[in-house]
Structure 1
């Protein structure tokens, strides 16, 4: 009788130990390491829409190397993005197509001044539809009677529109041409108007012209006719992802990113 009781006790003990072991294994499978959870990051980046193609390729490369970082772009006119940041829209990094918008955010302490750098530079060009019959080789040619509509970005919010206005004013053309101007919400819309032939000409960045096979460059803005086209980048003061934002900003200046920016027609900032 004692032997039977002893055997029963041993068997029961083994069953209990096995059950606890299984529970322990199940817990390990269900709970991922805390360090792994902490690595998941989302970066919100507000950037000038003229950077769209280059940033898309940079995003692909960066996320392949950093799978735990998800990059979310908010692309648009720099002035509109500035207003969004001022109104509290989520943004960890801001890339403007002109210093003006960055200066205004800096004055309101909405960017971290110490992180601000000039990222890339661009040129301003006239584009016309590929099949145009017009002979436009310089900005003065926009005053031809045959040029009825000229697309520009909104001068209040679109840096490309502001630069275009500067050129036309510098060359003494603005007062004559302003009645022919069709304003667009951003530089890519200017490009679209020109591609579809809704306007005879548009003024966009060189990089936008390169991105399309439906338009051709007719003229480049003369040196000194507008302020330098510089794209500053900075981390916002409200970011909650400081380290991740610093790492991505540093990557924007890497040799790999430089090659991508230059591929799309930009030159690196000075």
Structure 2
């Protein structure tokens, strides 16, 4: 028979250790740009198969996520779709020193609904001469900023601006094209690749907008014991190979 005193001591120890063990099993909370949904979920699954707790992923526009971090969100990692929003978080002293690195890159493409007649091989100015154009909100969202910069550089923005339909993030802009609420959209190449309901018709010149880079950093609020190791995994050859499968480029 088990000694009652030893049983009670063991029960008390389990009660104390239980919450700690449960907390240790929570994967790192990652705030990530909306365009990373498929790729980062795949990376999280790969990490879990290595025996780690699966990371908890929260996707939104980089602007919204940066504001959450500034407001004190208790997250472990932040992945932005552009450098300015990560710069903002860093200026506030909210990232762990030495943890910032560029993870991947991307390209911009013009898309149309896959049900629409295939666009002719026309100059971009004629292609976008009519119809609504869906963009992530250029006022704050990286994909929209890149798109506006490109269309401005190409001399098309003034003509297109009155017809722009704004989405709260790049996936919202993509959805507008998917459901026919816009005849055209400018999104990341990886977003177009992730959807069966749009067709990429033209890639915008890389030189027409700032380089698209996704910086990754560990936040000062990080509490997950796996936060740093998962950050390193994403930056490793194995991690970057996952993103490459989804069409992301080297940063």
TM-score, with structure 1 as normaliser: 0.84
Following superposition, the deviation at residue 42 of structure 1 comes to 3.8
1:117 is aligned to 2:101: yes
1:208-223 alignment to 2 at 5 Å? 208-223=191-206
Following superposition, the deviation at residue 131 of structure 1 comes to 2.7
Following superposition, the deviation at residue 222 of structure 1 comes to 1.1
Give the Cα–Cα distance (whole angstroms) in 2 for the partners of residues 41 and 245 of structure 1.
10
1:57 is aligned to 2:42: yes
Query: Deviation per CA, 1:99-133, whole angstroms, max 9, x where unpaired?
Result: 01001111111112410000000000001111323
Please say if residues 160 and 205 of structure 1, whose CA atoms lie closer than 8 Å, have aligned partners that are also in contact.
Answer: yes
**Local SS of the residue matching 2:138:** coil
Please say if residues 137 and 218 of structure 1, whose CA atoms lie closer than 8 Å, have aligned partners that are also in contact.
Answer: no
Please say if residues 32 and 57 of structure 2, whose CA atoms lie closer than 8 Å, have aligned partners that are also in contact.
Answer: yes
In structure 2, the CA distance between the partners of 1:23 and 1:137, relative to structure 1 (3 Å rule), is: farther
1:237-252 alignment to 2 at 5 Å? 237-241=220-224, 243-252=225-234
22-31 or 258-267, which deviates more:
22-31
1:80-229 alignment to 2 at 5 Å? 80-133=64-117, 134-135=119-120, 137-144=122-129, 147-229=130-212
**Local SS of the residue matching 2:67:** helix
Q: C-alpha root-mean-square deviation of aligned residues, in Å? A: 2.2
**Local SS of the residue matching 1:224:** helix
In the alignment, which of 232, 239, 245 is matched to residue 263 of structure 1? 245
Give the Cα–Cα distance (whole angstroms) in 2 for the partners of residues 89 and 137 of structure 1.
47
Structure 2: gaps (5+ residues): none
**Local SS of the residue matching 2:159:** helix
Bigger Rg, which one: 1
Please say if residues 45 and 73 of structure 1, whose CA atoms lie closer than 8 Å, have aligned partners that are also in contact.
Answer: yes
In structure 2, the CA distance between the partners of 1:27 and 1:198, relative to structure 1 (3 Å rule), is: same
- 1:10 maps to which residue? none
Following superposition, the deviation at residue 58 of structure 1 comes to 1.1
Following superposition, the deviation at residue 41 of structure 1 comes to 3.5
Following superposition, the deviation at residue 19 of structure 1 comes to 5.7
Please say if residues 174 and 187 of structure 2, whose CA atoms lie closer than 8 Å, have aligned partners that are also in contact.
Answer: yes
In structure 2, the CA distance between the partners of 1:137 and 1:219, relative to structure 1 (3 Å rule), is: farther
1:43-82 alignment to 2 at 5 Å? 43-67=28-52, 69-82=53-66
Following superposition, the deviation at residue 86 of structure 1 comes to 0.7
Query: Deviation per CA, 1:158-201, whole angstroms, max 9, x where unpaired?
Result: 10000000011101111111000000011111111111111111
